[in-house]
Every structure is written in C-alpha cells, then in structure tokens.
Chain A
Amino acid sequence: MEGVRGSLFAGPALLYTLLFFAVPFAVMAYVSLTPSTGSGGAGLSFANYAAFFERSYFLGAMANSLVVTAIVTVVSILLAYPFAVVLAEVVPERWQRLALALAVLPFWTSYVVRSYSWLLVLSSNGVINKALTGIGLLSEPLDLANSRLATVIGFTHFFVMLLTLTIYANLKQLPPSFRKAAADLGAGPVRTFVHVTLPLTLPGIMTGAFLTFVLCIGDFITPQILGGNNELLMPQLIMLQVGRRADFPMASALSILLMIVVTIAYFACARWLRLERSR
C-alpha cells in the first residue's frame, strides 16, 4: 500500500521521462536502422552502422573526438589538481570560499560566448598576437584560432574549473588526522601524497574526469567556433547530417555510436563514481 502511494507521487516524473526521454531514444534507435538519405536501400538494416566503420571520414571524426577528449581530460586534471590542493591547503581557511568562487566565476558567462571570447584572445589579430608582435617576439601573427589547439584550450578552460570544484570538495572531506598519522609513522610529504592523499582523492578525480569526458565528447559549440574547418569532431559530424543533408537515419546511427562510447566510459569509471544519495 505504501509503495503504491510512492509510485503515485513519482508517476508524473516517470511518465515524463518515459515519454520525452525513453521513447525518443527508442525512436532514434529505430530510425538509425532505416535507410539513410540517398542510399537507395530499403527495409531495416545495420547499413548505417556498417557505413560508419567503412568510411574513414566517419571513423576519423570519432578518432578526433576521442583524442581531443582524452587530451582535454588529462590536461585538465593535471592543471586542476595542484590548483585545488593550493586552494584547500595553502590559502587560509577564511579566504577559501572567496578563492573558490573566483576560480569558477567564468562558469557564469554564457556558454556560446565563452568559446567566442577565446577567439578574441587567439585569433590572428587577437590579444596574444598583438602582445607578442608588439614586444617584437613575433614578426608575423600566428593563427592560433581555427585549430585543434584552440579547441583544446577552449575545453580545458571550462573543465579546469569543473575539476577544481570536484577535487577541492574531495580534498576537504579528508580528515587532517590521516596525514598527521602518515607523518607520525615517518612518511615524508611525497610518500604521504602518493599513498594517502592521492588514493583518497581518486573518487573526486574520477567523477570529474567522467563528467569531463561526457560533456566534452558531446559538445558541438567549442569545436565549431574554435576548431575551424580542418577537422570534424563527432558532434559536428552529427549536426552536418541533420543540417545540410536532413539525413536523420545516419545522424541517429552516429548519435547512438557516440552514446555507446560514453556508456563504455561510464562502466570503466563506475567503481569510483559517487552518484549515490549523500548521507
């Protein structure tokens, strides 16, 4: 009886998720099996998936996406971890909230505008080039925008903020007594870090890394604004199928392949993820 009432309250949300999340997903899965625009095929088949593995154009986009996402995730962790340590341990306690709030302030710029603002910095007549040519370090401006580097910088900027938050939160949960105990037992700062702090902050790192991976690999805006036309990432490829060719079947197949990659990543980090109810 109790349970029935519970599902009554949860009913509207469950119905909504079913109608606007699960059903569209099923429809997309179905459409991905129908012949793609201009293929001349008929009936249901895995032809779109086969096409993905046969054409280097498609496979290349997936490879680009994986490489860019991997670089961004690793670089962001390497930059954010020491930053979070400084915020949690060097900055005096009463300034920490302010320091952290400042570190994530650019989160609140509009997402489209954030990529655009890197264009202002990196383009051939942008701030960096003007500064470098101004002091004579460069004679010709470099086109730093419209490249993989620009995409990586734009992504890293965002994810350093995200990872700083998750790692900082994790560091603050560690009781200081753990490190004191390690020191009492004769461990130096390096050993304490490697054997105590690092393993205990692994959940924070992995949660952040997983979020970075998911958000990064699915993002269309950053590579579209900063990457130029030299290479395509998966989201751009998907949007191309929808926009230019109105090829919903191929776009669906590519979307599902992208989702499979994310799911694999989820299971790879699942044991470290803490998405459970906090106590």
Chain B
Amino acid sequence: MTRPLRASSVLGLVYAGLLYGFIFLPVAVLVLFSFHRGRFPIPPFNGPSLRWYDQILSDGRLMDALLNSLTVGVLSSLASVLLGFLAAYGIARHRPPGSRLLSGFLMAPLTVSYLIIGMGLLITFNAAGMPKSLLATGLGHIVINLPLCFAIIYSQLTDDQANIERSARDLGASEAKVLLLVTAPMIWPALFASFFLAFTFSWDEFVIAFLLTRFDVTLPVEIWSLLRSGLNPKTNAIGTLVFGVSILLVFVIEAVVFGRRRAST
C-alpha cells in the first residue's frame, strides 16, 4: 500500500483493534483455561495440561449428548433442506397463485423466538400425549431451519436456470429427472450451504432442546447442566472442542462453496 495513512485512518484502526480485543477476550480466556491444570479456571494460569480434555472424552454422558446432537443435527438438517428445496422449486418455477403469501407463511417462523416455538411444541406434544424426546427436538429444529433453507435456496433459483430446466423438459425429461439431474446439480452450493447452516443452528440450539428432551439430551443441554457446578475447566474444554470443530466446518464450507464460486468466475 502506497496510500499514506491519514490520522483518521490510524484512529479507525486503533478503534478496530479495541473492538477485536472485546470480541476475542472471552474466547481467549475460555481456550486458555481449558489447558489449565488447577481445579478452577481462574488466574493465575498454570499448565498447559490436557487433563480436562481427558476427562471430557471419558465422560459417557457428554459423549452420548454429543452423539445425540450430531444425529438430531444431521437428520433435521437433511429434512429441512429437502422440504425447503422442493418448496423453493415449486414456488419459484410454477408460481402458484398467492405465491407471495405462501412464501411468507413458510418464512413466518423466522420472526418468532425459539422460546415461543419451543413452548408451542411442548404444550401441543403434551396435549397429544407425545413424550419428550430427541425426535420431538428434531421436529422443532426442522421448524426453525426449514424457512432458512427455503430462503437460501429460493434466492439462488434464478431465471436463466429456468431456461435450462425448460430445455431438459423439452428433451423429454420427467419433472423428477429435471429436479434431480438438472436443478439440484446447478444449485448444489446453495443446498450444501443451507445444510451446514441448518446443522450449525441445530447443533447449537438450546431452548427447544431443553424444553423437549428429558433423559436423552443434546450437547448444549448437557453443557447447561455442567454449568450448575459453577466455573469448571471441563466446561472450558468441551467449549473449546466445540469451537474447534465449528471452525473446521466453516473452513470446509468456505473451501467447497466459495472456492468453487471463485474458480468459476
């Protein structure tokens, strides 16, 4: 950069530095004290030690909860992408009467707090005699992720793709074939992105899972019960582990979805 730095730019960079400090302070403390040797994650730091990672990996309840979260996350995200894709295709391509209203209805859950969605499901399942379970939680996660997947995929179904689909239909492809062999491959980055976004939301969701599970719980609910023991390096360790895995996922999405887009332009 040959542009001379003006005083206001320097001031701006100092401000940005301070804000980075604010944003990273708790995360840095969390990660640092996950390697703490002592029983309380408070200064002064002594370590490094992997003692607490050892503990969480041999903690059956935590590992069960982790597996539950993975299962609920993968299955509910797959269902959300599938339902969202079909709906986006139907509304964008066939323009049924009142399509604005229909997509508005599908997006409505986005404007309602998770707490209220969870409450509604709890009361309804309770009235219907359906017990609290991971299945109930998964159904709840589809409610919050379906509008998201629908919105992302809908925004990617552009008109020039419609021409390609039309030519496939003219060449005799059935509707199912068009959907599977033409549309899906054209917009797979959107499908992929919406799946991972949905997965992240499900993976991290607390209040619906808290309301709708009892014995088999998801990871955020299990972490919540760990918190009752106060400041505990085990919580730091599991938190750091989840953080690491999420970052890895973000890199995968970045490489696959955006890497491709960059290569194609």
Contacts and interface: CB of A to CB of B under 8 A. Distances in A.
Given A110-B246, A130-B44, 18 more contacts: A12-B86, A12-B87, A13-B83, A13-B146, A21-B143, A27-B120, A79-B22, A82-B12, A92-B1, A111-B204, A113-B235, A113-B239, A117-B30, A123-B42, A125-B42, A130-B43, A221-B207, A258-B115
Interface in B126-172: 126-127, 139-140, 142-143, 146-147, 150, 154-155
Contact of A259 (B96, B112, B126, B246): B112
Contacts of B27: 105-106, 109, 117
A8 B238 CA distance: 44
B123 A28 contact: yes
Contacts of B121: 20, 24
B108 A120 contact: no
B188 to A, nearest CB: 18
B119 A28 contact: yes
Given A127-B43, A157-B22, A242-B119, A9 B94 contact: yes
Contact of A14 (B102, B122, B227): B102
Interface in B9-50: 9, 12-13, 15-16, 19-20, 22-27, 29-30, 33, 40-44
Contact of A111 (B12, B143, B220): B220
B115 A130 contact: no
Interface of A: 2-14, 16-17, 20-21, 23-25, 27-28, 31, 79, 82-83, 85-87, 90-92, 99, 102-103, 105-106, 108-114, 116-121, 123, 125-127, 130-131, 157, 160-161, 214-215, 217-221, 225, 235, 238-239, 242, 248, 251-252, 255, 258-259, 262-263, 266, 275, 277-278
Given A24-B121, A218-B113, A119 B231 contact: yes
B192 interface: no
B95 A3 contact: yes
B29 A160 contact: no
Nearest to A120: B29
Contacts of B9: 90
**Which of under 10, 10 to 19, 20 to 34, or 35 or more describes the interface residues of B?**
35 or more
A110 B111 contact: no
A24 B105 contact: no
Contact of B115 (A102, A109, A255): A255
Contacts of B207: 220-221, 235
Contacts of B224: 112, 221
A214 to B, nearest CB: 7
